[in-house]
Structures are given as structure tokens and as C-alpha cells.
Amino acid sequence: MKISMKNTALLCGAGVLAIALLNSSVVSAQNDPIASRKAVMKSVGGAMRDPGQMMRGQAPFELAKVKASLETFVEASGKMSALYPKGSETGGETTASPKIWEAKADFDARLVKFGADAKEALASITDEASFKANFPKVGQNCGSCHETYRIEKK
């Protein structure tokens, strides 16, 4: 299913490219906010893996990896708001809820909170005990925002 989704994404991407070339315009990441925000979300999910496995005891605690993941969250939270411009509500198999555009200020505030929680964790996590105590608060931002602003895949 993942492969077919990728293929579909590639096809959509190719279609966008073809139309853009016909219009003699330049295609950049800014012109495809859906693909860009998916890539940023993937980076967040990818960065959740190491600390997630450490939380579950499936991997040994490594402070450097935790910090790298938290840096990714801070960076992603800063980029995200601009990737939901008006006009990008549908298309590209987006699972963004229309509610994002109905309550953009709340959506943006949640992104700010996610970034702030990640920054706070960067400061407070110094060893395994402080990691186990402080990391879950960062991860809870995913679910609480997705509850309102993410819809089921078709």
C-alpha cells in the first residue's frame, strides 16, 4: 500500500510538473505545500522512532539521539504553519482536516506549543530518568493536534 501511495504521489507530482512546465513556471517546494508538509510530517515521525523505541525499552537510551530528534521537532514546528496556505485544503491525498482553515489561529498555536515543549525538553533532558519523565509531554502534542486536525486516509 505504501508503494502504491508513493506511485500515486509520483504520478500526481509528474502531473503538476507537466502543467507547470507548460505554463513555463518554476516548480519549487513552495508551489506544492501538500507534498512539503507531508515531507515535514514524515521527518517528525522519523525522528519519533529513536526516542519512541527508547521509551518502550526497545533501544538503549542515547542522549545525543534524543537531542537530535528534539531539534527536528523544533525545526519542523517552525516550518509547518506556512505549509497550510489557503487553496491547499484538498488534493494529493491530504489527510489535513478542513478544520485547519476554519481555526488557523488555534492550529498555529498548537504548532507553537509543540515547538516550545520540544525546546523545554532539550533543556530539561539530561539523562535517562529526565528523558522518561519529560519526553512523553512532547509526544502528546502529536495526538492532541491530530485528534482535531487530521482525518482518516481514504
Partner 1 sequence: MPTPFGTFRVPNLSSDKQDGIGAWTDQAFITAMREGVSPDGRHYYPAFPFTSYALMNDQDLVDLLAFLKTLPALPGRIADHDLNFPFSFRRGLGLWKWLNLASGAYQPQTSQSEEWNRGAYLVNGPGHCAECHSPRDVMGGIRKSLRMSGGPDPEGGAGYIPNLTSHETGLAKWTADDIAEFLKTGFTPDFDSAGGSMAAVIKNMAHLGDADRMAIAIYLKSLQPLASNKPAKKAP
Helix ranges restricted to H, 81-103: 99-102
Closest distance between partner 1 and the C-beta of residue 11, in Å?
6
Rule CB under 8 A: say whether 151 interacts with partner 1. yes
Total chain residues near partner 1 (CB under 8 A): 28
The C-alpha torsion from 98 through 104 and 106 to 112, rounded to 10°, is 120
Residue with cell 503538476: 16
Rule CB under 8 A: say whether 134 interacts with partner 1. no
Pick from 8, 25, 30, 126 the residue near partner 1 by CB under 8 A. Answer: 8
Q: How far apart are CA 44 and CA 111, in angstroms?
A: 12
Q: How far apart are CA 135 and CA 138, in angstroms?
A: 5
x/- mask, partner 1, residues 90-129, rule CB under 8 A, reads: -----x-x--------------------------------
Q: What is the DSSP letter of 57?
A: T
- Looking at residues 39 to 78 of the shown chain, list those that interact with partner 1 (rule: CB under 8 A): 45-46, 48-49, 52, 55-56
- 3-class state of residue 150 by DSSP: strand
Q: Which residues of the shown chain bind partner 1 in the complex (CB under 8 A)? A: 1, 4, 8, 11-12, 15, 45-46, 48-49, 52, 55-56, 95, 97, 136, 139, 142-144, 146-147, 149-154
